[in-house]
Amino acid sequence: MTKSRINLSRLEAAFQGRREKAFSQADLFATFIAAPLEWNLPRSMTKQTFIEMLLRRTKMSEVTLASSDYPPLIRYVWDKKATPVSLALSIKRNAFVSHGSAMWVHGIGGDENLIFINVEQSKKPPNRSVLTQEGIDRAFRSEQRQSRLVYKYRDATITVLNGKNSGNLEVELAKAPSGEEVEATSLERTLIDITVRPAYAGGITAVLDGFRRSLGTVSVNKLLSVLKALDYTYPYHQSLGFYMKLAGYGKVDQDLVIRLGTQFSFYLGHGLGDLALDEDFKVFFPKSLK
């Protein structure tokens, strides 16, 4: 391979202009296959030698994401500009920032070093089971199940979630505090997600703080519309209403939730102890929260 034949300036300009700065091997293979003629890559070059050339002659470098339960992942970083959240999003195709990381993106909490990305499951048949109080009590008696698909990169911990299929409902491009644009859940979808899975937001107290910091910004009508579209079996609107009440949302907003009904007594989270029942929204919550 003759080094002088490759148009490195055009190749580097193309990578420099890409929004993403972290790539999987498959991403770089796809780039090689679609490489424009102006890069002047040798006909003898293979996908693997393309990556080797990038590592040897350009600003591309290789990093490793480690896991205690799964094999390590190799990722490729352009110009050392990939942040931990960028690396996280390169783990799975169609991944988006969610839960505590979406809180961080929207400025309502979260931790930049505790990263949560979501890759939605395939569509499943609707759940036609009949909800009962006994079933709710049994389901929420135990701790919330948590993903074991966790990677470490420097000071960051990356958790990969496989969430309920929604067709990526309310996933949008947003600017993270670290400066890059990322796919993330909207503010309303984020508040729902952390209500459903508070462990991925730092716990119930962190969720409540997120509601407080969203006061005056979130659209309650949109919040309830998104919740309806997500079509959960459990009455998570009761938990939303309870958080709104404690966070100081107005009576008009709270009434929108109450109109959806309180047929069952519900729980603010899984595996909670020393509980009290809120009479307005019929939600069991830890007494320490008040």
pLDDT tens figures, 154-204: 999 999 999 989 999 999 999 999 888 999 999 999 999 999 999 999 999
Contact call for residues 172 and 186 (beta carbons, < 8 A): yes
Per-residue model confidence as pLDDT tens digits over 113-140: 999 999 999 888 877 788 999 999 999 9
Weakly modelled stretches of the chain, pLDDT under 50 = 1-2
Res 64: pLDDT:
96
CB atoms within 10 A of CB 76: 20
Start and end residues for every CATH 1.10.10 domain found in the chain? 1-79
Start and end residues for every CATH 3.30.460 domain found in the chain? 83-289
Measured CA to CA, the distance from residue 141 to residue 133 in angstroms comes to 12
Res 290: pLDDT:
67
Sign for the pseudo-dihedral over CA of 146, 166, 187, 20? positive
Res 86: pLDDT:
92
Res 179: pLDDT:
87
The CATH architecture assigned to 1-79 reads: Orthogonal Bundle (1.10)
Count of all residues that appear for the chain in the document: 290
The class that CATH gives domain 83-289 is alpha beta
The answer to whether the pTM exceeds 0.75 is yes
Res 1: pLDDT:
43
